[in-house]
Amino acid sequence: MSSNTPQLKVLVVCLGNICRSPMGEAVLKDVAKKRGVDIVVDSCGTAGYHVGEEPDERTVSVCKKHGVPINSLARQVATSDFTNFTHILAADESNLRNLQAVKPHNSTADVRLWGSYLDNKPIPDPYYGGINGFEKVFQQCTALSNAFLDDVLGK
């Protein structure tokens, strides 16, 4: 990115921050790196169920299978996230509603459904399913990462 382009700071959000959002964070970082895009990516959950925990082992397994590094600990969304990030991407409509409910008046972030950059489809929660659900989430995160970067970079 050119020096006059503001750095992208992206927060990927799901419910508990152990499946979709840490995978989305890892995939978006990887896609951006491969495209030479300067970006900061983090993830969090709208709920605090798993604060301090590592990602679900199936999330880690699928990322490793594809050679995508993943290293994060679950955290809950904070008020400061709405001014510290340029974009906040919700995995599904429920996450988006929860974000809108806690979004402060001074928010500067573009808060939206991540799927709005491609097909408006939510990222389904794979937690209660098998490994195939996690693989599908990985493929969706890859497509959404490319669509997001194409949009924000004007390509």
CATH of the structural domain 8-149, one choice from 1.10.3720.10, 2.30.33.40, 3.40.630.30, 3.40.50.2300: 3.40.50.2300
- Cα dist from 131 to 63, 125, 137, whole Å: 12, 12, 10
Catalytic residues: 14, 20, 125
Residue 4 has pLDDT above 60, yes or no: no
pTM for the model stands at 0.95
Q: What is the pLDDT of residues 95-122, one digit of tens each?
A: 999 999 999 999 999 999 999 999 999 9
Q: What is the pLDDT of residue 3?
A: 47
Q: What is the pLDDT of residue 2?
A: 44
Instruction: Please state, for a pLDDT cut of 70, what percent of the chain lies above it.
Output: 96
Q: What is the pLDDT of residue 1?
A: 42
Assigned token pair, 134: 């996690």
Pairing assessment for the beta strands 39-45 and 87-90 based on DSSP bridges: unpaired
Cα R_g (the chain), whole angstroms:
14
Question: What confidence tier does 6 reach under pLDDT thresholds 50, 70, 90?
Answer: low
